Amino acid sequence: MAHDDRILEGVTVLDLSTFVTGGFCSAMLANQGAEVIKIEQPGYGDAIRHSGPPFIDGESPYYWTVNYGKRSLELDLKNPRAVEALYELAEDADIFIQNFRPGTAERLAVDYESIAERNEDVIYLAVSAFGQTGPWRERSGYDLLIQGMSGIMSVTGEPDRQPVKVGLPMTDLITAMWAAFGVTTALYRRELTGEGEYIDLGMLESALPWLTKQAGQVFAGTEPRRMGTKDPVLAPYQTFETKDGYLNICILNEKLWWELCEVLDRPDLAEHEHFETNADRVEHLEELETEIEATLAAKTTDEWIEIIAEEGGVPAGPVYDVEEALNNPQIDARDAVTEIDHPELGSVPVIEHPLKFEHAESGFELPPPLLGEHNRAVFRDRGYSEAELDELEAAGVFGTESDGSETSTTE
């Protein structure tokens, strides 16, 4: 690996995955300087390209958010010459990512053994819904299924109502972050040992470590339950209604509780026997909620944020909609949402990744690629002549048309 201002400069990633799990992982790697070559189905591409509406001039903004910083290469993996071309690319790759259902990679001859035969140093990541072993290994699975089976939905939503999923593809993104962590730690191990690695990552197992306090309740013999925005072990730690909307208040210790009572001008709450300790407040949560909301109803959310958070220094914040979350003074000051030049649309918004290193550069240098935008460039950069590129094209390596079929089993 080369050493440059970007930590993963010189690292090459071949990403055969579709949708979110592998895609967000490789976007994280691209953000840190890796060259990510997105291998796509000819004529159709990654199915996330078609996720919508809404679309902007035929492009899916959802697709953009998972594919900044990559190059797109169409390869017809049912064509033996295309598979050979993939092998040629794999010889110099550092990371190989796929999220096929177990058994599919073997049928396509892009399994670990086939790739490692050409490159024994490769870091090979196989993402699937349930992992490569176990009785459910051959099942397909997506975020909604995993949210349900991981216990997340059992603790999300209001009590005595239907379970609901988290409003974003949470388990896809959890899995993607484990994936990025796994391949970078494997790269570090390779630097120490010189050995490649095979990583088997299942979505269901990826979600379990995130249960934290709910798992702790189970370990202690207590059954977690749906509590809306309330917390099972802290109070007040929830959403409250104000005169014109909502705000969140987060009290994690007695000092903050006393400070909250002071800024609310409710010293009686601090002295109340039902609210003296956190355990008392958790036990009498409904009574506490009634008292606090009666006070908050007198002012607007903005007024209370000024009083509680700005003047009082107590953790509190508004409940933003998504547009407000993407456009506010703090986000603007941190350049968290920017723009990047796009080959057809002029520019597109970019949600930058949050790691800000003191001694290294990060950030996306390429826009989300058009389908097949880099078909010839990827091979040209590896020394292919124009005549050889013409031969690849004539052999159908880049495909002719697609039936839009899907072989991945994760989002």
Tens-place pLDDT, residues 231-282: 988 999 999 999 999 999 999 999 999 999 999 999 999 999 999 999 999 9
The set of residues, in sequence order, having a beta carbon less than 8 Å from that of 344 and lying 6+ positions away, is 57, 59, 370
- 10 Å Cβ neighbour count for 341? 10
Tell me the percentage of the chain whose pLDDT exceeds 90. 95
Express each pLDDT in 24-76 by its tens digit: 999 999 999 999 999 999 999 999 999 989 999 999 999 999 999 999 999 99
For residue 327, pLDDT beyond 80: yes
**What is residue 405's predicted lDDT score, i.e. its pLDDT?**
42
| Ranges of each domain in the chain | 12-210+334-394, 246-318
For residue 2, pLDDT beyond 90: no
For residue 1, pLDDT beyond 50: no
Express each pLDDT in 153-204 by its tens digit: 999 999 989 999 999 999 999 999 999 999 999 999 999 999 999 999 999 9
Question: 12-210+334-394: which CATH topology?
Answer: Rossmann fold (3.40.50)
Do 143 and 382 meet the contact criterion of CB atoms below 8 Å apart?
Answer: no
Express each pLDDT in 93-122 by its tens digit: 999 999 999 999 999 999 999 999 999 999
Q: What's the half-sphere exposure (Cβ side, CA atoms, 13 Å) at 285?
A: 18
Do 256 and 315 meet the contact criterion of CB atoms below 8 Å apart?
Answer: yes
Average pLDDT over the chain reads 95
| Res. 402 pLDDT band, cuts 50 70 90 | very low
Per CATH, is 246-318 categorized as 3.30.1540.10?
yes
**What is residue 336's predicted lDDT score, i.e. its pLDDT?**
97
For residue 92, pLDDT beyond 90: yes
**What is residue 242's predicted lDDT score, i.e. its pLDDT?**
98
Bridge partners of 127, per DSSP, are 201
| Res. 400 pLDDT band, cuts 50 70 90 | confident
For residue 384, pLDDT beyond 50: yes
- 10 Å Cβ neighbour count for 45? 21
Express each pLDDT in 306-325 by its tens digit: 999 999 999 999 999 999 99
Q: Which residues are marked as active site?
A: 172
Residue 405 Cα distances to 33, 82, 163, 291, angstroms: 32, 18, 32, 57
